[in-house]
Amino acid sequence: MSVPRSGLLVPVTRYPLASSKNATTNSNTSPEKHSYSRSNKIAYPTARHHNLDALLKLEFMNRFGERKNRMKRLISAFVLALAMALPTAAQSLDQSLDQQFADPPEQSRPWCYWYWLNNHISMEGVTKDLEAMAEVGIGTALIGNQYFGAGGSGPIEMLSEEWWDVTAHAVREGKRLGVDIGLFNCPGWSQSGGPWIGPEQAMRYITSTEVSVSGPTLFDQILPVPGDDSGDDFQDVAVLAVPVSKTDEKTLRERSPKVSSLPKIENASRWVDGDLSTGASLALSKGQTSQQIDIAVAEPFTARALVLRPSNGFFRANLTVSAWLNGAYEVIREGVYDRRKDTENVGPMRNGAVYVSLPAIQSDRFRIAFSEFQTGPGDRGTRLSEIEILSAPRVEYAVEKQLGKTHPTPKPAWGDYSWPPAIKEPGFSYVADPQAVLDLSDSIDEDGRVTCRIPEGDWVIQRIGMRPTGTKNSPAAPNATGLELDKMSREHLDTHFDAFVGKLVSRLTAEEKTALKYVVADSYEKGSQVWSDDLEEVFESRYGYDPTPYLPVMSGRVVDSPEASDRFLWDLRRLVADQLADVYAAGLKERSNEHCMKTWLENYGHWGFPGEFMRYGGACDLVAGEFWAGGSLGETECRAAVSTAHAYGKKVVYAEALTSAQNWELTPFKLKARGDWAFTEGINHFVLHVYIHQPNEQMPGMNANFGTEFNRHNTWFYEGKDWIDYLRRCHILLQQGLHVADFAYFIGEDTPIMGGTRQPEQPAGYDFDFINAQVLLERMSIENGRWTLPDGKSYAVMVLPPLKTMRPSVLSKFRELVAAGGVLYGEAPEHSPSLQDADRADATIRSLSEQMWQGMKAGDSGTRNFGKGKVAQGIELQSVMDTLELPADVSDVDPKRVLWTHRQTDELDIYFVSNQLRRAVEIQPVFRVSPERLPELWHADTGLTQRTAHFEKLEDGTRVPLRLGPAGSVFVVFRKSADALSNPIVEVKGRRPVTVLAEGDGVFAYAGAAGQYELVRSDRSVDRFRVNTLPRPLRLSAQGWSLGFMPGRDMPDSIELDKLQFWTDSEAPSVLHYSGTAGYLTTFDFPASRLGNKDLRFELSLGSVNPMARVWLNDTDLGLLWKPPFIVDATDALRAGRNELRVDVTNLWSNRLVGELNHPDGFPDAATREFTPTWFAKRRLNKGRRIQPSGLAGPVEIKAIQKIRLRN
């Protein structure tokens, strides 16, 4: 018998719980897992024993062995009985899932990041870590070697022979213990680099120098390498002569400028002196949020471009450009200046020019206004070296569009890499004709001297080449740090793989290699790259035109037209994204697969990600998201991984789970709501972040400034097995069948892109996925009017993003699928974004749009039938679903407080429902399921399943009333049943709680209070019954309790309590700051008259507990209570007469560490100093840090539950 933690007892089959496991120590270097004495007084082993550690371990192992053997016997008996009762294959399938839920299989085990910090590693620690992981149910450890400036370096230098030996030892030990091993593909967590990568193998970008020349003439001159150094890492790409108009190229310095500013800026004239080595800073102060700069020239001229050249100008501001027209300043253009974050991973051109296009305006006075200034962490300076206003146009935001400067925050939103359309002006005499651009690449020698004849006209000669972006793998040990690998070169990828992962593989035997399963690529954080070896050939093969004449666009010069230049840069960004997926991710997968390993990749990036998240993730074996224990990080990352996995047919969706920046202050309960949120997003396998390697027995030991402490030195690590079992059961069910979603949101073709957009969002009660062009073109079809993928996953409606661009191949596919019966929502595209065969492509887009949208324009509302399908825009999405007669998948719940996800197999509908509040809720959701499938409640915290008899079949689905505890959750599983309930309970009248269950051939109500009950059935008949009397709750006395502590923690063995209370209410500093497990012990008498009634069950309620408690009643382990309500079935453990109750409460390290900061020489009330905490990163701990309430305060009560049989 067991109890759902809602507080009402129900009969279930209960699988034995794991044993109590708690870390303890009798010094700061000798922790052991500890089990407490069973005597009626808390008599722990003391120092007089000659081998305390051995005694503690022996007692623990004896108890653990007893329970483990008992579990084996019970499971063996269950399996035998099950095997004898399986007459059909269909029953076998369902019952197998029941069994897996109760006793999760190995593949359900969560993984963990296993960080080895600052070379602090040891073989002994590796073995103990892996043994601990195996014990609690962690199935895979992903080794990442991290190094931070603080904390010093350990004894085993990374990449040394000894380091390789320890790493190989980890693989061998993992094989012995059944814990699979993965390895980050380079030192550090991001991304793919090391000291073996040379400049010619690194990520590179385009840079150039130029000189002006008039022809005809013989040009014979050395063109300098871009930059201030020797240029040893510079590689030539091309030398080009670009035709220009000398008049349009005239600088402000040549126009006799005068500069004024408000507030006044000294030396403002340096901005127009034509000298990039000079400059001035904006006059910003703490209260100053705007800056105005006026520039006047001698004679009016036509302005087409503003160029701002920063020099240590790392800020963001809105720009307003005005011109003096008709006697006043008029705004002619608005834009943005953004050069925040001075680090390599947001682009190699952090001081790159900001180009702003202007409409062709003639004036002699211009005003530039900066407003709404922002700076990023660590940014400094508002210095500009030059301001240019030109008659010649420039490519607006050319630096950003070539990814020379990427988004300065870790979470670029959809649309952050979109820019206003190019300004169009009739005639392009002032821009370079691509056919007139001369390729002089054969005219340069090894010294950089160019010798050639220049035709008549004005020209700019550019030396264009590649240089490394400067990004390096991190955070890695200094000797293991090097340039980041070129992500667009398979040759260089092979070099990288062989230099690190390959070296480990070579040290293992064929048998040992079977434990090395995964190669890890964490979230992309290493910025953009723009060019690579022979990229011109790849580009021309992809787009059908030579990119070389368009390379001047990279320096801001317009080639062909502003629009054509933008399209060239679009093609380049798209190619970079595709190469990141098709060369880097796919290549890493191929090399890993050669060694029977799989790639595990997070398919997004937080700093400078240049890819498309879906294609990038689709190219790997296993795709993963990420989410933190608090905050919003994960909202983009998880859905990116989930949608990619669904779109590319990947059953399991991983997530780097529950990262935090807290200080030993998180518990399973505090993690639960956020973890359940991730499950409802579609994540179905957690990778815990982070298990930090513990090289020795100092405690709490190695830690970092991030991550939740999932390691063997954490106080609740071993007790956390019950929570891990919860995760495992969730994994099992959430990996069944296919995810159900009705909306697919097309992400468009623009890159970079880290997540999609929903404009408009789907109505409440429906789920969604994102879809990309590759999946649309290669994997999508229409079946029964739904957009269907090869594995059967399908969507009712495809929604387009608010873009005016689409390539012909994509729109042609949409046309084909709509004609076949698909429903498409969104406005028609107007042209192609690409320069590839642009005129014909645009004509095709216009033609296809007219066919499909049939005259509907931007801003219109309506629906058009096309073939067997339809196109809609501007109307409510709910009205589209109403037309399709498709009700919400889940209705009648508040989406802000109750979340859900839905999986479906041929036999089952599986809904996971999560209460996100820290208080209990009662809800009555309606699930869109077939009426012949009946609901069951599967509780992942205990492994119990119930056939509820309280539900109502409606026209749009089945209503199932649910009561969810604080942060509570349940699986509502629908399946056909041989014992169909033809007349279920649809309403419970009255305020008294009652649970109604179908058990065997009967229906039973469980009531926790005396009184009259009325249960309304689906045929409106009423079952009435009365519970006349129930035994009064037995409240245990608050006196007579003792409290025992773990030895070796500067504590007495035990203390007598005046009353039952949290130990953090004590005035004794040592007790107040105690961290670990403490046992509350008492005895009580239970009346014999209350036992023996088979229709009575008894629940033990602990009242107030923080944070978790394992309950022992008369030497019987009733299990770990790790979340409220702290209630457990005590029926089978109760005795008539005297009973012994022990409640082992485990709290957090933070209390003891705050105590150490307040009492560095020891607690004044402690007799001797036995334990000195040792930890690595202090994080935010300080003397004033709040003490975490810890202990048991009650009231402790035993309550009766009455079981009543109802008519069938």
The mean pLDDT of 455-460, rounded to a whole number, is: 96
204 domain-assigned: no
CA distances from residue 556 to 207, 358, 366, 393 in whole angstroms, order as listed: 11, 14, 21, 9
pLDDT value at residue 228: 65
pLDDT value at residue 860: 98
Tell me whether residue 243 is exposed, middle or buried, using C-beta atoms within 10 angstroms of its C-beta: 0 to 12, 13 to 18, 19 or more.
middle
pLDDT digits (tens, 9 = 90+) for 857-893: 999 999 999 999 999 999 999 999 999 999 999 999 9
The mean pLDDT of 1035-1055, rounded to a whole number, is: 95
> Which of these three, 701, 735, 769, is where a domain ends?
735
Same domain, 619 and 715: yes
pLDDT value at residue 91: 37
Q: Is 795 helix (H, G, I), strand (E, B) or coil?
A: strand
Please determine, for residue 32, whether its predicted confidence score (pLDDT) is greater than 80: no
Those residues whose C-beta lies under 8 Å from the C-beta of residue 51, and which sit 6 or more positions away, are none
pLDDT value at residue 990: 75
The secondary structure of residue 17, as a DSSP letter, is P
Same domain, 265 and 329: yes
202 domain-assigned: no
Please tell me the total count of domains within the chain.
5
Q: Are 740 and 786 in contact (CB under 8 A)?
A: no
pLDDT value at residue 88: 34
pLDDT digits (tens, 9 = 90+) for 354-391: 999 999 999 999 999 999 988 877 777 899 999 999 99
Distance CA 702, CA 489 (A): 38
Same domain, 714 and 755: no
Please determine, for residue 1089, whether its predicted confidence score (pLDDT) is greater than 50: yes
> Which of these three, 391, 415, 442, is where a domain ends?
391
pLDDT value at residue 17: 28
Same domain, 837 and 772: yes
Q: Are 485 and 493 in contact (CB under 8 A)?
A: yes
Please determine, for residue 950, whether its predicted confidence score (pLDDT) is greater than 70: yes
pLDDT value at residue 344: 92
The count of C-alpha atoms lying within 13 angstroms of the C-alpha of 245, restricted to the half-sphere facing its C-beta, is 14
Which residues does residue 868 pair with via DSSP β-bridges, in sequence order? none
Those residues whose C-beta lies under 8 Å from the C-beta of residue 505, and which sit 6 or more positions away, are 513, 516, 595
Distance CA 1109, CA 1193 (A): 12
The mean pLDDT of 142-149, rounded to a whole number, is: 95
- Read out DSSP for 949-977? -B-EEETTEEE--EEE-TT-EEEEEEE--
CA 192 from centroid of its chain's CA atoms: 20
pLDDT value at residue 54: 32
The mean pLDDT of 937-943, rounded to a whole number, is: 97
pLDDT value at residue 1150: 94
pLDDT value at residue 58: 35
Q: What is the CATH number of the domain that holds 125?
A: 3.20.20
Distance CA 428, CA 436 (A): 13
Count of helices and strands (H, E) across the chain:
20, 61
pLDDT value at residue 289: 79
Mean pLDDT over each residue of the chain, to the nearest integer: 91
Same domain, 1087 and 951: no
Same domain, 721 and 750: no
The mean pLDDT of 755-773, rounded to a whole number, is: 98
pLDDT digits (tens, 9 = 90+) for 331-346: 999 999 999 999 999 9
CA distances from residue 93 to 86, 933, 1030, 1141 in whole angstroms, order as listed: 10, 16, 42, 41
Lowest mean pLDDT among 152-161, 680-689, 949-958, 975-984: 975-984
> Which of these three, 837, 869, 901, is where a domain ends?
869
pLDDT digits (tens, 9 = 90+) for 319-328: 999 999 999 9
Q: Are 188 and 481 in contact (CB under 8 A)?
A: yes
pLDDT value at residue 285: 66
Please determine, for residue 1001, whether its predicted confidence score (pLDDT) is greater than 70: yes
pLDDT value at residue 980: 72
Same domain, 1182 and 1052: yes
Same domain, 825 and 846: yes
pLDDT value at residue 227: 80
Those residues whose C-beta lies under 8 Å from the C-beta of residue 237, and which sit 6 or more positions away, are 206, 464, 465, 466, 531, 536, 551
Confidence of residue 179 (pLDDT cuts 50, 70, 90): very high
What is the amino acid identity at position 889?
Answer: D
Same domain, 715 and 773: no
Please determine, for residue 209, whether its predicted confidence score (pLDDT) is greater than 60: yes
pLDDT value at residue 1092: 85
Percent of the chain at pLDDT exceeding 90: 85
The mean pLDDT of 1185-1205, rounded to a whole number, is: 96
pLDDT value at residue 50: 29
363 domain-assigned: yes
The mean pLDDT of 941-946, rounded to a whole number, is: 96
594 domain-assigned: no
The mean pLDDT of 134-147, rounded to a whole number, is: 98
Confidence of residue 55 (pLDDT cuts 50, 70, 90): very low
Same domain, 728 and 814: no
Range of the domain at 973: 890-1027
Percent of the chain at pLDDT exceeding 70: 91
Indicate the pTM of the whole model.
0.92
222 domain-assigned: no
pLDDT digits (tens, 9 = 90+) for 408-444: 999 899 999 999 999 988 766 678 999 999 999 999 9
In b/e form, how buried is each residue of 1050-1066, taking b as 16+ CB within 10 angstroms?
A: bbbbbbebeebbbbbeb
The mean pLDDT of 652-670, rounded to a whole number, is: 95
Confidence of residue 163 (pLDDT cuts 50, 70, 90): very high
295 domain-assigned: yes
Confidence of residue 1110 (pLDDT cuts 50, 70, 90): very high
- What are the strands, taking DSSP E only, across 326-468? 328-338, 354-374, 383-390, 438-439, 449-468
Q: Are 597 and 517 in contact (CB under 8 A)?
A: yes
pLDDT value at residue 288: 73
pLDDT digits (tens, 9 = 90+) for 957-999: 999 999 999 999 999 999 998 777 889 999 998 777 899 999 9
586 domain-assigned: no
pLDDT digits (tens, 9 = 90+) for 245-289: 988 889 999 999 999 999 999 899 999 999 999 999 998 766 677
322 domain-assigned: yes
- Read out DSSP for 1102-1154? --EEESEEEEEETTEEEEEE-SSS-EEE-GGG--SEEEEEEEEEE--HHHHHH
Those residues whose C-beta lies under 8 Å from the C-beta of residue 875, and which sit 6 or more positions away, are 861, 862, 863
Same domain, 682 and 820: no
Distance CA 1189, CA 1104 (A): 11
Q: What is the CATH number of the domain that holds 1010?
A: 2.60.40.1180
Q: What is the CATH number of the domain that holds 346?
A: 2.60.120.260
Q: Is 676 helix (H, G, I), strand (E, B) or coil?
A: helix
Same domain, 996 and 1097: no
Q: What is the CATH number of the domain that holds 821?
A: 3.40.50
pLDDT value at residue 8: 38
